[in-house]
Chains A and B, each alone.
Chain A
Amino acid sequence: MLEIRLDHTQGNFRLNVAFQGAASGVTALFGPSGAGKTSIVNMVAGLQKPDAGRIAVNGLRLFDSARKIHLPPEKRRIGYVFQEGRLLPHLSVRANLTYGMRLTPKDRRFVEFDPVVDLLGIGHLLHRRPSRLSGGEKQRVAIGRALLTSPAMLLMDEPLASLDPARKAEVLPFIVRLAREFAIPVLYVSHALDEILNLAARMVMIREGRVLADGDLEALLSRSDLQPHLGRAESESVISTVVKEPEDAFGLTHLRFGDRILKVLSIDAEKGEPVRVRISSRHVAIALEPPSRTSFLNIFPGEIREMVDLGGPVLDVRVEIGCSLWARITRKSLLELNLKTGQPVFALIKSVAVSSGPSDACR
């Protein structure tokens, strides 16, 4: 469990935040550049000293201005994966990996060398120098290095930001697996929603040095008031699903949410694996009756819960179908169908419009 309360002024910028991170799994620290995210993780790591506040991990006080506690970084047992990797250039990959491990007393180690090397797929790189690694390889080694100190928690400051989309797709699965396989809470900083979508359970939204919202990732993503701060051009719905059938005869993946099945283009995931999918509101249509003879494969009965007038000819409608689903419709349709809040409708989703994870979300 991570408890943070910070107050820090630097120049004109005031950072004043208080939030808690989950005791396990990934907590995303989300916000635009310059919001103060990196300052927060630096303060948790002990690399920067806040003016006032309190930082505690699993009940251990790392910083407490009232009690004049300020543990140095090396005493905090916090693993830090930096944006630029920061591998030690004069050491081999193996020496980088074991640098922190050897400084961890044996009785405190719960992360072993071989499993980490296997998990991250860096066994063939052990004798190389960091300068001979690709960006993605560097980040994997940096993650392994932090993990091998058997930390009480892991900080990741935009570990994928310096990578191109292909390298991102290469590293992200490792972080997902790491968060699942090692019981270490992770605080993951990002300004890209698609990165944290299939990674984080909780999200803390930071804006201009303050906490804008804080809570369950999905709940935050469906809140209409937060849509402008999510850094995307159009409203999107996020649905948590479980893979029911990885690939049917037509090459479609069946995803289960509640008692409903969402059919989408094939996703690279195994049966039973949890997957979050994003659906742009532009790809959701609304009908008053279940349409017959249509190309829409996903038709869900639901109820209109909220309408957000965007001004102009369009508006967003939130339909409850067992989860929140945003649909963007024209004002003309609204009037012709005479839609109202509380009205039962059918939501139609094109299978080809559903995407999971990162990659194409950056368009």
Chain B
Amino acid sequence: MTLFHLTAVELAALKLSLWVSGWAVAASLPAGILAAWVLARLRFPGKNLLDGMLHLPLVLPPVVIGYLLLVMLGRNGIIGGALDRYLGVVLAFNWKGAALAAAVMAFPLLVRAVRLSLEGVDQGLEDAARTLGAGPLRVFFTVTLPLMVPGIITGVILAFARSLGEFGATITFVSNIRGQTQTLPLALYTLTQVPDGEAGAMRLCILSVLIAMAALVCSEILARRFAARMEG
């Protein structure tokens, strides 16, 4: 047993974690950008309520979120039952559910970062693009979105890191099934519960640190590239 050799279980947990987090971020990014846009640009009654709801996962215990997801999206849940019956989509106790739990928990962080960058975009530039003949949708994709890139990078990295670390909501919603829903933190927790698990736990711990650092380095490189492009 060495510190540098992963067992099959640990390798499966690592792959699953990257897969689940990747999907969680990819699937929630468009919704996150939309939510950020709605909160930053529109004025409507109930906006504060929506803002609060989006921030709930940040303040509620993750277990509560997991339980709510289970109640609503489980096979017998209101939404989960319908999904199963009409679309044949089952979220409970598989990787899709894990990705959803991670996405929900990471969503506020994503929206906050994206919204901040959107609020920094000079609306005068959008007006200028309109006078040049671009409709609102084109302005969004050719002016607003490109200028939001730094915030989107930050949001994606934050959300990815949060997803990788997701524990409470995941274990409550989709349980801890090896190869199905046992992500890195869950595997680590499991290893700490069994005799002779310390080495494995340590390996997963180091792995988590490495992934987190790699993500940070990636975001830094991307942000620098963007800044260089704007300077060029």
A104 x B147 contact (CB < 8 A): no
Residues of B within 8 A of A73 (CB): 127, 130-131
B230 x A132 contact (CB < 8 A): no
A100 x B133 contact (CB < 8 A): yes
Write 21 A-B pairs (CB below 8 A) sorted by A numbering.
Answer: A46-B131, A72-B130, A72-B136, A73-B131, A74-B130, A77-B133, A82-B124, A86-B128, A89-B147, A89-B230, A90-B146, A99-B129, A99-B132, A99-B134, A100-B132, A103-B132, A103-B134, A104-B133, A129-B231, A132-B232, A146-B131
Compute how far the CA of A90 lies from the CA of B232 in the bound complex, rounded to whole angstroms: 9
A47 x B130 contact (CB < 8 A): yes
Compute how far the CA of A181 lies from the CA of B122 in the bound complex, rounded to whole angstroms: 33
B131 x A131 contact (CB < 8 A): no
B125 near A: Cβ within 8 Å? yes
Selected contact of A74 from candidates B125, B135, B142, B231, CB within 8 Å: B135
Residues of B within 8 A of A89 (CB): 125, 147, 230
Which residues 62-90 of A sit at the B interface, judged by CB distance below 8 A?
72-74, 76-80, 82, 84, 86, 88-90
A149 near B: Cβ within 8 Å? yes
A132 x B130 contact (CB < 8 A): no
Compute how far the CA of A146 lies from the CA of B124 in the bound complex, rounded to whole angstroms: 15
**Chain B residue at minimal CB-CB distance from A100:** B132
Encoded as 1 (CB less than 8 Å from any B CB) or 0, chain A from 20 to 50 comes to 0000000000000000000000000111000
Residues of A near any B CB (own CB < 8 A): 45-47, 72-74, 76-80, 82, 84, 86, 88-90, 92, 99-100, 103-104, 128-129, 131-132, 145-146, 149
Encoded as 1 (CB less than 8 Å from any A CB) or 0, chain B from 190 to 232 comes to 0000000000000000000000000000000000000001111
Decide yes or no: A79 and B147 within 8 Å by CB, A84-B124, A86-B124, A129-B231 being known contacts: no
B143 near A: Cβ within 8 Å? yes
B130 x A88 contact (CB < 8 A): no
A149 x B132 contact (CB < 8 A): yes
A149 x B232 contact (CB < 8 A): no
Residues of B within 8 A of A103 (CB): 132-134, 138
Compute how far the CA of A285 lies from the CA of B129 in the bound complex, rounded to whole angstroms: 54
**Chain A residue at minimal CB-CB distance from B130:** A73
Shortest distance in angstroms between B140's beta carbon and chain A's nearest beta carbon?
13
Residues of A within 8 A of B133 (CB): 74, 77, 100, 103-104, 149
Shortest distance in angstroms between A187's beta carbon and chain B's nearest beta carbon?
13
Residues of A within 8 A of B230 (CB): 89-90, 129, 131
Compute how far the CA of A72 lies from the CA of B133 in the bound complex, rounded to whole angstroms: 9
A47 x B125 contact (CB < 8 A): no
Shortest distance in angstroms between A76's beta carbon and chain B's nearest beta carbon?
8
Interchain residue pairs A-B with the least CB separation, the first 4: A100-B132, A103-B133, A73-B130, A86-B128
Residues of A within 8 A of B128 (CB): 80, 82, 86, 88
A129 x B131 contact (CB < 8 A): no
Shortest distance in angstroms between B133's beta carbon and chain A's nearest beta carbon?
4
Shortest distance in angstroms between B114's beta carbon and chain A's nearest beta carbon?
17
Shortest distance in angstroms between B159's beta carbon and chain A's nearest beta carbon?
23
Residues of A within 8 A of B125 (CB): 86, 88-89
Selected contact of B231 from candidates A46, A76, A104, A131, CB within 8 Å: A131
Compute how far the CA of A82 lies from the CA of B122 in the bound complex, rounded to whole angstroms: 13
**Chain A residue at minimal CB-CB distance from B147:** A90
**Chain A residue at minimal CB-CB distance from B143:** A88
Which residues 24-43 of B sit at the A interface, judged by CB distance below 8 A?
none
**Chain A residue at minimal CB-CB distance from B128:** A86
A145 x B135 contact (CB < 8 A): no
Which residues 98-132 of B sit at the A interface, judged by CB distance below 8 A?
122, 124-125, 127-132
Residues of B within 8 A of A76 (CB): 131
A-B contacts besides A73-B131, A100-B133, A146-B132, 8 pairs, CB < 8 Å: A46-B130, A47-B127, A73-B127, A74-B131, A88-B125, A88-B129, A100-B132, A129-B232
